[in-house]
């Protein structure tokens, strides 16, 4: 499919070093961004669908790097079907699993956790709920796994490993397994903060610095934060990515964001939701965290958007998350909500408001155009201007 979004008021790239793209048009073909800036009448005539953004703002589709995926579009924790499709209506176009720890009766033996990771990875290889790309299958590190297991898993396509829920006496015992997973080319992640499962121990700076995962999962607590003094140590004494989550401690989210900015280390700062959990299902969670950072701290709103898009893409080696030619054509059109105090999406986010989502495109295919089921209406009218194929993109996904 070939599609275009025209009449954009601003284009935010998702790259915090170069956050604005000039022009008002994005042309997409075969799942990728083809060009950004302007398009000729011929370019647009060759498109199957043209979306008129009416002056609203384009950002890359949000990447939530901490989602409690299980199987299908279902969360056992909150007993809800369709949550991923609902997240797409909140602007999230990519979800990365936080490991399949919420699968009821999930296995804890080496063969079981390996099979679970492979099965989850395969089940989401082509399944796109509402158009969302889901990266599932994170091996839950448990005692008994050996080095060869990680090579075997990597050969089967598993590229994520999760420390924090295993039956170890101490979090320090994860150290060799995290090393094996890294050697197999995996991205390693570690629960941070107070224990989220009764009986499991808290994971603080000492553990992170000794085991060196690639990503400190919910560095601001999931949901309970480690002591304040530990944040500076993790920022200054390691190079791991630091994931701030919606379902965590807001005060320490702002603390760690300020620390990474002052340290000149903003590439390491990621936004995710850590949902569905006991904190609930949060389709607008990514936007809440973006607006918390943009309204309660000095962080530029474009940087907060980058932490939710391009920074996640870089750490997780994804081709989405940045609006540039050759990148995945995952685009979200946002605006200020009708009836609010501001008249554009970026000012709304700076004001502490969630934006209106006016359209979501993934892999170059519009998933809905007009009104998200989860946000108030936009001020500007985002609409299908031209459609040359027999499909109604104004309807909600499915
Ligand atoms: Zn989690």
**40-84 pLDDT, tens digit each:** 999 999 999 999 999 999 999 999 999 999 999 999 999 999 999
Q: How far is the CA of 272 from the centre of ligand 1 (A)?
A: 10
Look-up of token digits 């500007």: 380
Answer whether residue 352 shows pLDDT above 70. Answer: yes
- pLDDT, mean of residues 237-250: 98
Half-sphere exposure of 199 (CA within 13 A, CB side): 5
Q: For the chain, how far is it from start to end, CA to CA, in angstroms?
A: 18
Half-sphere exposure of 70 (CA within 13 A, CB side): 21
Rg (CA), the chain: 20
pLDDT given for residue 395 in this prediction: 58
- pLDDT, mean of residues 31-47: 96
Look-up of token digits 């997780």: 316
Q: How far is the CA of 154 from the centre of ligand 1 (A)?
A: 23
Q: How far is the CA of 275 from the centre of ligand 1 (A)?
A: 7
Q: How far is the CA of 257 from the centre of ligand 1 (A)?
A: 19
Half-sphere exposure of 94 (CA within 13 A, CB side): 26
pLDDT given for residue 396 in this prediction: 53
Q: How far is the CA of 68 from the centre of ligand 1 (A)?
A: 6
Q: How far is the CA of 132 from the centre of ligand 1 (A)?
A: 19
Answer whether residue 262 shows pLDDT above 80. Answer: yes
Q: How far is the CA of 222 from the centre of ligand 1 (A)?
A: 6
Asked whether the beta carbons of 97 and 120 are under 8 A apart, the reply is yes
Q: How far is the CA of 200 from the centre of ligand 1 (A)?
A: 14
Q: Is the dihedral of CA 158, 161, 165, 168 positive or negative?
A: positive
- pLDDT, mean of residues 286-292: 98
Asked whether the beta carbons of 329 and 364 are under 8 A apart, the reply is yes
Confidence of residue 200 (pLDDT cuts 50, 70, 90): low
Q: How far is the CA of 296 from the centre of ligand 1 (A)?
A: 24
Q: How far is the CA of 1 from the centre of ligand 1 (A)?
A: 36
- Alpha-carbon distance of 298 to 278, in angstroms, equals 30
Q: Report pLDDT digits (tens) over 144-162.
A: 999 999 999 999 999 999 9
Look-up of token digits 């519009």: 366
Confidence of residue 397 (pLDDT cuts 50, 70, 90): very low
Q: Report pLDDT digits (tens) over 72-103.
A: 999 999 999 999 999 999 999 999 999 999 99
Answer whether residue 398 shows pLDDT above 60. Answer: no
Asked whether the beta carbons of 368 and 98 are under 8 A apart, the reply is no
pLDDT given for residue 394 in this prediction: 83
- The predicted model scores a pTM of 0.97
Q: How far is the CA of 191 from the centre of ligand 1 (A)?
A: 7
Q: How far is the CA of 361 from the centre of ligand 1 (A)?
A: 27
Average pLDDT along the chain: 96
Give me the percent of the chain exceeding a pLDDT of 90: 95
Asked whether the beta carbons of 219 and 242 are under 8 A apart, the reply is yes
Asked whether the beta carbons of 246 and 273 are under 8 A apart, the reply is yes
Confidence of residue 201 (pLDDT cuts 50, 70, 90): confident
Q: How far is the CA of 37 from the centre of ligand 1 (A)?
A: 38
pLDDT given for residue 324 in this prediction: 98
């Amino acid at each position: 499919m070939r599609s275009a979004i025209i009449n954009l008021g601003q284009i935010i790239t998702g790259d915090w070093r170069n956050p604005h793209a000039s022009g008002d048009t994005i042309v997409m073909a075969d799942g990728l961004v083809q060009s950004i800036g302007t398009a000729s009448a011929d370019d647009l005539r060759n498109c199957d669908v043209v979306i008129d953004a009416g002056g609203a703002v384009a950002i890359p589709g949000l990447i939530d790097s901490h989602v409690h995926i299980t199987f299908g579009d279902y969360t056992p924790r909150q007993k809800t079907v369709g949550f991923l499709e609902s997240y797409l209506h909140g602007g999230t176009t990519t979800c990365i699993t936080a490991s399949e720890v919420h699968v009821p009766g999930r296995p804890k033996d080496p063969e079981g956790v390996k099979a679970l990771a492979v099965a989850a990875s395969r089940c989401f290889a082509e399944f796109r709920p509402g158009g969302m790309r889901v990266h599932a299958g994170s091996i839950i590190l448990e005692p008994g796994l050996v080095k060869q297991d990680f090579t075997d898993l990597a050969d089967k396509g598993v590229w994520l490993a999760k420390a924090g829920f295993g039956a170890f006496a101490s979090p320090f015992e994860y150290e060799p397994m995290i090393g094996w997973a890294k050697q197999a080319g995996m991205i390693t992640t570690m629960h941070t903060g107070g224990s989220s499962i009764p009986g499991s121990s808290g994971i603080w700076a000492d553990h992170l610095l000794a085991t060196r995962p690639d990503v400190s999962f919910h560095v601001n607590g999931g949901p309970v934060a480690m002591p304040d003094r530990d944040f500076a140590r993790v920022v200054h004494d390691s190079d791991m990515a630091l994931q701030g989550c919606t379902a965590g401690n807001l005060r320490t989210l702002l603390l760690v964001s300020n620390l990474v900015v002052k340290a000149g280390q903003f590439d390491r700062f990621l936004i995710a939701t850590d949902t569905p959990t006991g904190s609930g299902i949060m389709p607008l969670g990514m936007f809440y965290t973006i607006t918390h950072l943009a309204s309660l701290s000095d962080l530029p709103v474009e940087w907060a958007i980058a932490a939710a898009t391009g920074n996640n893409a870089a750490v997780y080696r994804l081709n989405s998350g940045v609006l540039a030619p050759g990148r995945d054509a995952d685009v979200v059109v946002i605006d200020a909500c009708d009836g609010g105090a501001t008249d554009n999406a970026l000012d709304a986010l700076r004001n502490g408001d969630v934006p209106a989502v006016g359209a979501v495109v993934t892999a170059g295919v519009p998933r809905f155009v007009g009104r998200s089921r989860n946000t108030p209406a936009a001020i500007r009218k985002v609409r299908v201007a031209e459609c040359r194929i027999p499909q109604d993109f104004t309807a909600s996904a499915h």
